Each structure stands twice: as structure tokens, then as C-alpha cells.
Amino acid sequence: MRLGTMGYSLCAALAAGALQPESQLIAIAGDGGMQMSMNELSTLQQLPVRNLVVIVLVNRKLGRVANEVWGPAEAASAAGCELVVPDFCKMAEAHGGVGIRIATSDPDEVSRALDQALACQRLCVLEVMQDPAVKPLMAKRGSSAKQSAAKTSQIASVK
């Protein structure tokens, strides 16, 4: 979580596919991480890997950085985290695959889109559009929300 390994999932999926090319592979990446490694979609075309679903969570920002607390609780949010993103569905098509976009959290539609992606039997990018204002729960190892609040309080009282 704190290693800064953006772009890792697509590369890891290709490595797994190189070992077992007939396997169903699934990679999950944010839009920033996908942009860091989407050149590997060209590599994919040169490999015998055929069953790869890449789920791209699109919120148009570097969410991990934007949602982190940098300093005391009242500190300003990180700046420069907004992204301009390409059409990942078209990127999939440009690399011989299929692109599917969903912009709903309706469980039935999400399930249908995932079933469709898994049935492709080739590269499929499932683009999941997300509200950039929604902050995901950022779990921290060995730290509960109560401990984090206490730590923030201690930092603020020291200053």
C-alpha cells in the first residue's frame, strides 16, 4: 500500500499469463496506474495470453494521493492529482480487444458487465466510471480509525 506501485497490476497479469497463457487473468487498476503501464497492451499482443480482463476504476484523479492526509487533519488536500484520461475502451479496441464501460453501481448491471467481460476470451477492458468526490476507505495496516483520530489529535496538540 505504501510502496507506490502504480501500474503494477497489468504487468503482473502479463507475467502470470506468460507462465500460464490459458488461464483467465484479471487485473485491477486505477486510471492513473493504467496510464503508467498501458504500453504493455502492445506486449500482450505478442504473447500467447488471450483471456485478460483489465478492470479500470476511472475517477480522473490520483485517488491514493488525493485521499491521503498529508500533515494535520486540517491541512489542505494534495494538489495536482487531477487526471486527463483516455478512452480506455478505445485503447482496448486499438490493441485487438473489447472495451466495456459502466457508470452505475446497480448490482445487476455490474454483474452483467463483469459476466460479459469474462466471456470475451481475449483482452477486455472493463472501464468503471466513478464519482471522484467519493473517497474509498483507505485501510492502514495496524491502525484503526480510532487510533488514527487519536494520532491526529496528538499531532495537533504538539503544535
Considering the domain boundaries, does residue 85 fall inside one?
yes
* Per-residue model confidence (pLDDT) at position 23: 94
Residue 84 belongs to some domain of the structure: yes
Is 3 among the domain residues? no
Q: What pLDDT is stored for residue 50 in this prediction?
A: 80
The residue behind cell 489529535 is 153
What pLDDT score was predicted for residue 128?
95
Residue 2 placed within a domain: no
13 in a structural domain? yes
| pLDDT at 60 (0 to 100) | 80
Do residues 130 and 117 make contact, with C-beta atoms less than 8 angstroms apart? no
The answer to whether residue 1 sits within a structural domain is no
pLDDT of res. 83: 80
| Rounded Cα gap, residues 120 and 143, in angstroms | 40
The count of structural domains within the chain is: 1
Flag whether 106 is in a domain. yes
> What pLDDT is recorded for position 39?
92
Cβ-Cβ contacts under 8 Å for 153 (sequence gap 6 or more): none
Mean pLDDT of each 10-residue bin along the chain, 159 residues long: 75 93 94 91 89 92 67 74 88 96 95 96 94 67 54 43
Q: What is the CATH number of the domain that holds 43?
A: 3.40.50.970
Q: Is 104 within a domain?
A: yes
Would the pTM count as exceeding 0.75? Answer: yes
Per-residue model confidence (pLDDT) at position 53: 97
d(CA 147, CA 124): 41
| pLDDT computed for residue 130 by the predictor | 87
DSSP for 53-106?
A: EEEEEE-SB-HHHHTS--SSTTSPPPSS-B-----HHHHHHHTT-EEEEE----
Domain containing 59 equals 8-158
